[in-house]
Structure 1
Amino acid sequence: MGFRVAVAGATGNVGREMLEILSERNFPADEVIALASSRSVGKEVSFGDGTLTVKNLETHDFSDTDICLMSAGGSVSQKWSPKIGQQGCVVIDNSSAWRYNADVPLIVPEVNADAISEFSRKNIIANPNCSTAQLVVALKPLHDAAVIKRVVVSTYQSVSGSGKDGMDELFNQTRAVFVNDPVEKGIYTKRIAFNVIPHIDSFMEDGYTKEEWKVLAETKKMLDPKIKVTCTAVRVPVFIGHSEAVNLEFEKEITAEQARDILRDAPGCLVVDKAEDGGYVTPHECAGEDATYISRIREDATVENGLNMWVVSDNLRKGAALNAIQIAELLVARGLIKSKNQAA
C-alpha cells in the first residue's frame, strides 16, 4: 500500500515543482494532498494529468499523513513542522528554519545519505539552501578523492530563488526598459534587469550576507566541518538556474583530468567540459533538468593542488523540489517509514 503525501505551499514555485516531480518519478503515493494558506484554498494545481484542489494547511489532520513536503516559508515551518512531526508525519522542509538545528539532519542524498537515520528526533529533515545543494553534489566525490581544504565560491543566482515575485520583477523591469517606461524596484535593492546585484538576504555584522553564511555553514554540516569556505552571492537577471564559479584547494594532488573522471562517475553529476566555443553548460540549458552540470574544470597554478570549475543546476529542482523528493525516496528505500494505512 502506498503513502499519503502532503505538499505544503503547493501554489508556490517550489511547491508546484514538487507536485510535478512526484508525478514524474512515480513516487509510491496512494494520495497526494495540496496544501497552502487559507487565501489559496479552493485553487487548483496541476498534478500529473489532472489537478488537485488546494486545502488549508492550518486545518489539515496529519495523523493519517506519512510525509509532508514543506515549502511554505521559514516562519510557517517554524510554527507547523513540530506540530506535524508530533502527529507522526515526517516533514521534509525546504526553508532555512531547521537546517542548523543539531537534532535535524540536513540531507543531500548523494552526499550524506546516512545522516537520514537521525530524523526521528523531531520527525523533521531539512533541505539545504539551493546554492549549497548543487555545490556539495560536485564537491563530495572530489573531497573523497583528494580532501578539500578550502573552497572559494562565487554564486550567480537566478531570480526564481526569490520566488514568483523575483521572476515577475525581472520580467516587468525588462519590458519597461524596452518600451522606455520607468523601471520600478520591488523586492530587490537595485534594478535587476540588465544588471547584477552582489547582495542576497540580509547583511551580517562581518559584512557577509546571510546567503553567503548559509553556504559556509551547510557545506561544513553536510560535508566536513574542517573545510574552509568563503562565498560571494550575486543575484543575476536569469529566470531559472543557479551558476557557481568554484575554486578549490586540496590536501592531495589532483589533476583536472582526474577530477573529470571522478565527476563523470559521481551520482547526480554530469560533466560537459570541452575547451571550445559552447563546450560548457549555462543556466539556460539546465532549466528543467535534474543533474548538477560541471564545466570549465582546470588546474589553478597559483596554489598547490588547486582546481577551478563551473557548476550549474536548476535551483527549483535539485536546489529544492527534487532534493526533497529524493529524501522521501531515501526514507522509503531504507525502510525508515511505513505507510500508516499499511500499519493500520
Structure 2
Amino acid sequence: MADVNDTAFRPGTFLLVGIPGLEKFHLWISLPFFSMYIFALLGNLVLLFTIVREQSLHKPMYLFLSALTVADLLLSTTTVPRMLAIFWFRVGDISFGACLAQMFLVHFIFAAESAILVAMAFDRYVAICNPLRYVTLLTHSVIWRIELAAVVRSFCLVLPCVFLLLRLSYCRNHVIPHSYCEHMGVARLACTSIKVNVVYGLTVALLSLGIDIVLIAVSYGLILRAVFQLPSAGARRKAMSTCGSHLCIILLFYTPAFFSFLTHRFGGHSIPRHVHILLACLYVVVPPMLNPIIYGVNNKQIRETVMSMFAHLQSTLSPTAGKAS
C-alpha cells in the first residue's frame, strides 16, 4: 500500500517544455544559446588554465577568479545541454531524482557565486585600503578557508529545498513550463500546500543575497572613501581600475537575478511567462560567457599572459607545420 501511495504522490518523471509559448522558435533560439555555451566553455577553460599554469597569477584576486570560473562552468553545463536537447530533439523527460539534483545544483552554484563575489569585494578592499597587510591577511590557507566557507554556506542553504520538495504530493500535472528544474517551478506542481516552500525560498533569497549585497556595498563604500583620500587623480584612477572588472561582474550577476526574482513573485501577469523563462535561460549562459571576456579585456596581466601562451603555441606548431608541408 505504501508503494502505491508513493507512486501516486511522487511522479517518476517530469516534462520540461523549454520556453512555453515559443515552441515553434526553439530551433532558432537554440543557435545563439549553443554559440554562447561554446564561448562560455572555451573562455572559462582558457582563463582557468591560464591562472593555474602561470605562477605570477597565483594571487588572491586570481584565485578567487578561478573559483568563479569553475562555478560558471558548472552552472552552464548543468543547464544548457539539457536545454539544447529540448530545443533540438524535444527530449524534455527528466526523472524526479534528476530534476531535484539539477534544482539543487542550480541554486547551490548561484549561492556559491554570490559568496565568491563577496570574497572578491573583500579582496579589493584589503588591496586598496590595507595594501601593506594584503599578503599577510590573504594567504593561500585563508583563501581556501573562505572558498570552503562559501561552499558550506551554499550547501546548507539549498539542501533544505530538496527535502521541502520531497515532502510534497505531486498528483497534478507533471509538466514544468521551464527549460530546467528550479525550486518554485517544481513546487507549483504539487497538490498540497507549498506555503513553507514559498516562505523558505523568499527568506533564503532575501537574507543570503541581501546580506551579500550589503557586504559588497560596504566594501566598496570603504574603497571609495580610501580612493578619494589619495593625493593624485592618477592614483585614484589606478586604484579604481583594479575594481572595474569586478564591478561589471557584480552588475551582470545581480541585476538580471533580482529582476527575474522580483517580477516572478510580484509582477503578476504584467510580464508574459515566456519572458520570465527566456531571462532565466539567458541568465545561466550569458554571465558565464561574458565573465572571462570582461577580465580578459580589462586585466592587463591576464591579457598579456593569454597572448604569450597563444604566441608560444603558434611558434611551437609552426615548425611542425613547415616540416609536414
Q: Considering the TM-score relative to the shorter chain, is it more than 0.5?
A: no
User: Who wins on radius of gyration, i.e. which is larger?
Assistant: 2
Select the structure with the greater relative contact order (CA < 8 A; seq sep ≥ 6).
2
Q: Greater strand share, 1 or 2?
A: 1
